Amino acid sequence: MDRTEANTGTREVSERLRFDVAPLERWMADNVASFAGPLTVSQFKGGQSNPTYRLDTPSGRSFVLRRKPPGKLLPGAHAVDRESRVMSALGRQDFPVPHVHGLCEDENVIGTPFFVMDLVAGRIIWDPTFPGLTPGERATHFDAMNATIARLHGFDPAAIGLGDYGRATGFVERQVARWSKQYETDVEAGRVPAMDRLVAWLKDNLPPDSGDGRIVHGDYRCDNMIFAPDEARIIAVLDWELSTLGDPVADFVYHLMMYRMPAGMFTGLNGLDFAELGIPSEEEYVVAYCRRTGRSALPDLDYLIVFVIFRLAAICHGIRGRLARGSASSAHAEATAAMTEPLAELAVNQIPSSRR
C-alpha cells in the first residue's frame, strides 16, 4: 500500500459517516468566532480511529472536525474529549498544535461527540524517507521531530493544567494491561499466537517503574505532524487520542520504533542506507533526545521496543475488530488490520535471546 496515496487529501463522506450539516452550522455559529457558512464537508482519507472531516466555507476559511465514530465502541476508546483538552492546554504553551475552537458532547448535533479545530496548511510526510529532500534537509527534518518530542516531554503537566490528565506512575504496567485486555476481549478480531506469546512475556518481564510522569503523545510519528511548507519546522502535531500522563521514555521509544520496522511497513526505516539518505542512525537519534532531556541513556530499551511494537500490533488488531463490527472509518482499514500478524512477529523477534 502506498501510504502517501492512500492517506493524502479528502474524499466524499462515506454513507455510514454522513450527517445533517445544518445543526453543525448552527453549533459553529455559536462557538467559532466570525464563522460564516454554508459548509462544504468532505472526509479525510486518513484517520483510522476517529473519523476526520474537512469543513470549507465560502470565504476560504477551513476547519477540521474530529468525531467519535458511530456504532458499538470499546470502553475508553475514541476519546475526542481528551484530544480536545490536551491540544487546548498545549496550544496555550505555544506548542505546535492546531487551535481548538470547541468540543461538543451533545450527540444531537451530528450523532456523536466531536471537536472543531483550525485547518493547518503545510506538509504531512507519509513516507518516512522524506522523498524529494536532500540528505541535509532530511537531517534537519529528523532533528525537528526529535526536538519537538523532547520539548513535549519537558512540560510539567500540573503547571499547564494537565496534572489530572492521567496517573503519573505505573504507566508501562497499565499500558501492558490495557492493550493485553483490549486484544484478549476483542473476540470479533480473533486470536493471534504471536500476540498471545507477547502478552505473557510482557507481563512476566515488567521493568521497574520510572516514576517520571509527563505528557505522552502515544502515537508520535512523521505522519501525525504537519511541517511548514518550505522549512524543517513542525507547525502542528496531530492525533492526540492516545495521549495521557506516563513514561516519556516509553513514548520516545514508540517513535524510535521506526528504526526497527522494515522499510515499507508503516513508517519503517530498517534496511535503508542512513548515511546516504542523511537520516541519523538509531544511536545518534537516541543521543540527541537524551541530550535534550538531560538523560545519559534510555533505561529498559529492549523491553520497551518489544512493548511498543506489540502495542501497534494491538491497535491494528483493534481495527480488525472494528471492521468485523462495521465501525472502521478509514478506506484502507483492511490493509492496516492485515499488519497485525507481521507486527506481532516482529515484536517477538525483538525479544533478546537471553530473555526468551
Can you give the CATH number for the domain in which 152 is found?
A: 3.90.1200.10
Q: Are 62 and 55 in contact (CB under 8 A)?
A: yes
> Which residue among 85, 118, 151 closes a domain?
118
Q: What angle do CA 321, 322, 326 make, to 5 degrees?
A: 125
Residue 175 lies in a domain: yes
Q: Are residues 139 and 40 in the same domain?
A: no
Q: Are 59 and 36 in contact (CB under 8 A)?
A: yes
Q: What is the mean pLDDT of residues 33-48?
A: 84
Q: What is the mean pLDDT of residues 73-89?
A: 80
Residue 150 lies in a domain: yes
How many CA atoms lie less than 13 Å away from 311 in the CB half-sphere?
22
Give the Cβ contact number of residue 15 at 10 Å. 6
Computed on alpha carbons and rounded to an integer, the radius of gyration of the chain in Å comes to: 20
Q: Are residues 34 and 159 in the same domain?
A: no
Count of domains for the chain? 2
Q: Are residues 140 and 227 in the same domain?
A: yes
Q: Are 172 and 302 in contact (CB under 8 A)?
A: no
Which pLDDT does position 252 carry in this prediction?
97
Which pLDDT does position 210 carry in this prediction?
82
Tell me if the bond preceding 38 is cis, omega within 30° of 0.
yes
> Which residue among 73, 88, 118 closes a domain?
118
270 has pLDDT over 90: yes
Q: Are residues 23 and 60 in the same domain?
A: yes
328 has pLDDT over 70: no
Residue among 136, 97, 331, 138 nearest 220 (CA): 97
Residue 128 lies in a domain: no
Which pLDDT does position 207 carry in this prediction?
94
Which pLDDT does position 13 carry in this prediction?
87
Beta bridge partners of 237: 225
Q: Are residues 201 and 100 in the same domain?
A: no
Task: Indicate the pLDDT class of residue 290, thresholds 50, 70 and 90.
Answer: very high
Q: Are 155 and 75 in contact (CB under 8 A)?
A: no
Numbers of helices and strands, H then E, in the chain: 12, 10
Task: Indicate the pLDDT class of residue 332, thresholds 50, 70 and 90.
Answer: confident
Q: Are 24 and 50 in contact (CB under 8 A)?
A: no
19-36 burial: b if 16+ Cβ within 10 Å, else e: bebeebbebbeeebeebe
Burial of 2 (0-12, 13-18, 19+ CB in 10 A): exposed
Q: Are residues 110 and 155 in the same domain?
A: no
> Which residue among 87, 118, 149 closes a domain?
118
Q: What is the mean pLDDT of residues 202-209?
A: 94
Q: Which domain holds residue 189?
A: 135-355
pLDDT digits (tens, 9 = 90+) for 82-119: 999 999 999 999 999 999 999 999 999 999 999 999 99
Q: Are residues 187 and 305 in the same domain?
A: yes
Which pLDDT does position 254 carry in this prediction?
95
Q: Kindly give, in sequence order, each residue whose CB lies less than 8 Å from that of residue 108, ignoring residues fewer than 6 positions away.
A: 23
197 has pLDDT over 80: yes
Question: H-helix or E-strand containing 221?
Answer: none
Q: What is the mean pLDDT of the chain?
A: 91
Beta bridge partners of 115: 66, 103
Which pLDDT does position 4 carry in this prediction?
57
Q: Are residues 44 and 10 in the same domain?
A: yes
Which pLDDT does position 72 carry in this prediction?
58
Return the axis-axis angle of helices 282-293 and 135-152, rounded to nearest 10°: 40
Q: What angle do CA 204, 207, 210 make, to 5 degrees?
A: 150
Q: Are residues 344 and 245 in the same domain?
A: yes
Q: What is the mean pLDDT of residues 342-353?
A: 94
Q: What is the mean pLDDT of residues 45-61?
A: 84
Residue 323 lies in a domain: yes
Residue 32 to residue 115: CA distance in whole angstroms: 11
Q: Which pTM was predicted?
A: 0.89
Alpha helices in the chain (DSSP H): 3-7, 21-31, 80-91, 135-152, 171-185, 193-204, 248-256, 274-277, 282-293, 301-325, 333-337, 340-349
Give the Cβ contact number of residue 74 at 10 Å. 15
Amino acid code (one letter) for 4: T
Q: Are residues 114 and 156 in the same domain?
A: no
Q: What is the CATH number of the domain that holds 32?
A: 3.30.200.20
Query: Over pLDDT 90: what percentage of the chain?
Result: 76
Task: Indicate the pLDDT class of residue 335, thresholds 50, 70 and 90.
Answer: confident
Q: Are residues 25 and 63 in the same domain?
A: yes
Residue 94 to residue 16: CA distance in whole angstroms: 37
- Report CA 227 to chain centroid distance, whole Å: 16
Residue 205 lies in a domain: yes
Residue 129 lies in a domain: no
Task: Indicate the pLDDT class of residue 303, thresholds 50, 70 and 90.
Answer: very high
Which pLDDT does position 298 carry in this prediction?
94
Q: Which three cell numbers stand for residue 182?
A: 483490549
Q: Are residues 36 and 153 in the same domain?
A: no
